[in-house]
Amino acid sequence: MDEMLSQEEINALLKGLDDTDSSSDDASKQIGEVEKDAIGEISNISMGTAATTLFSLVNHKVVITTPQVSVCNWEKLSQDFVKPCVAIQIVYKEGLEGTNLLMLHEDDVKIIADLMMGGEGNNTDLELTDLHLSAISEAMNQMIGSAATSMSSMFGKKIDINPPSSNIIDFNMDENEEFIEFLNKDFLKVSFKMQIGDLVDSEMMQLYPIDFAKEISDNFMASREAEESIEEVVAAQASTPQPEQVQQQAPRMDIPDQMPNQMPNFNQMAGNNMYNNSGNQFRNIDVQQAQFQNFDFNAVIQQKENIDLIMDVPLEVTVELGRTSKPIKEILEFAPGTIIELKKLAGEPIDVLVNGKNVAKGEVVVIDENFAIRITEIIKNSGHSLIN
């Protein structure tokens, strides 16, 4: 009987259980459904841009699905997520103040890193090294950098990040909770399904501190409200007639019933009584019919082109010994002494170009220690001008 708990001890235990169960409820009260939807929409747009960037790095089709947003904690995350994994820490340095984690499976990191280094993405049996972590950090730097650019457009201000850092996380190790301070309490989890060709089909997550998630959603909703206000103002201005667009009715001119040949002289009426759009009367306006000069087409003189006008125009003359094409790899290997074989036979006439147009052929001669060209053939004119 001495081992039985007292009522005070039972109450204390029950209170402790209530505090544990209410932890997630308190976090849910801190961030509402509207804010979760805002984070989801931001993540959806940002990751769409990031997927395009990742495609350019791995040269495989990348699909990142619509995110799922929920409140989570470290214990629950360690039960649901595959172990071990890689956490990429992303710190915002401009526009927003905060940090978040991007969580990837270890095998996914190996595949992405291998593809970035020109492999086939099938070296998942190798141990995860610093080279893999460096590659995935660079990939995330470009992906989240492009996502930050999308956020800049959404928020109407510049958003920028520091270069991300990567770490291997083992959920079974207690010291992992010290990796990021906000993991010691409830946080916001945004999970995506990521597919990279036929090589990757798994889950990727972003973890946000509750306060930072609220800051992001507040910025997003504020920018939306400002955008809607501007649209309302523009719509109101468009529906309101502007002063200069208001037209007053022109004064009525009573014309008596007459036969067509007895119609009044409108030139005289215009000269005596003319009004502008504002109703102000003009005076002493003499209206006359326009007088046009007759064209005598027989008087048009066809002038002959005067070639003397362009005799002094300078033209660039180029002598081309020959041409060839080389891949970039061979060009990078050029060094003094390298011999480049041209696609022209020995003794074959060389081309003479004027402003890039082949006009003649000739042979190389030497005059007073200078190279010269002796014209051996003039190419018939194809009808194009030599002057560009």
Q: Per the domain annotation, does 146 fall within a domain? A: yes
Last residue of a domain, one of 228, 246, 262: 228
| 181 and 36 within one domain | yes
CB contact set of 37 (below 8 Å; sequence gap of 6+): 69
Question: CB neighbours (10 Å) of residue 35?
Answer: 20
Count how many domains the chain has. Answer: 2
Last residue of a domain, one of 208, 228, 248: 228
Q: Per the domain annotation, does 75 fall within a domain? A: yes
What letter represents residue 162's amino acid? N
Span 132-189, pLDDT tens digits: 888 888 888 888 888 888 888 888 888 888 888 888 877 655 554 445 677 888 889 9
Q: Which domain holds residue 364?
A: 315-322+347-388
Express as a percent the part of the chain with pLDDT over 90. 4
Strands (E), 253-331: 274-275, 281-282, 317-320
| 353 and 223 within one domain | no
| 51 and 186 within one domain | yes
Q: What is the residue-level pLDDT of the chain in tens, covering all 388 positions?
A: 445 555 565 555 555 544 444 444 454 457 888 888 888 888 888 888 888 888 888 888 999 888 899 998 888 888 877 777 888 888 998 888 888 888 888 888 888 988 888 888 887 777 888 888 888 888 888 888 888 888 888 888 888 888 888 888 776 555 544 456 778 888 899 999 999 988 999 888 899 999 999 998 888 888 888 777 776 666 776 766 655 544 444 445 444 444 444 444 544 444 444 444 445 554 555 666 666 666 555 544 444 456 677 777 888 889 888 888 888 888 888 888 888 888 888 878 889 988 888 899 998 888 887 888 889 999 876 444 444 4
Can you tell me the distance from the alpha carbon of 117 to that of 35, in angstroms, rounded to the nearest whole number?
Answer: 39
**DSSP bridge partners of 366:** 371
Q: Per the domain annotation, does 273 fall within a domain? A: no
Answer for the pair 157, 95: CB distance below 8 angstroms, yes or no: yes
Q: Per the domain annotation, does 329 fall within a domain? A: no
CATH number, domain containing residue 387 = 2.30.330.10
CATH number, domain containing residue 99 = 3.40.1550.10
**DSSP bridge partners of 287:** none
Q: Per the domain annotation, does 269 fall within a domain? A: no
Whether pTM > 0.85 for this model: the answer is no
Q: Per the domain annotation, does 336 fall within a domain? A: no
Last residue of a domain, one of 228, 248, 278: 228
Express as a percent the part of the chain with pLDDT over 70. 68
Query: In a 10 Å sphere around its CB, with 0-12 CB exposed, 13-18 middle and 19+ buried, how is residue 329 labelled?
Result: exposed
CB contact set of 311 (below 8 Å; sequence gap of 6+): none
| Residue carrying structure tokens 């990021």 | 180
Helices (H) and strands (E) in the chain, counts: 8, 14
Q: Per the domain annotation, does 352 fall within a domain? A: yes
Q: Per the domain annotation, does 278 fall within a domain? A: no
- CA-CA-CA-CA torsion sign (10, 11, 12, 15): positive
CA distance readout (Å), 245 to 132, 149, 241, 268, 310: 66, 41, 6, 30, 55
| 215 and 82 within one domain | yes
pLDDT number for residue 190: 92
| 355 and 213 within one domain | no
Span 314-365, pLDDT tens digits: 888 898 888 888 888 888 888 888 888 888 888 788 899 888 888 999 988 8
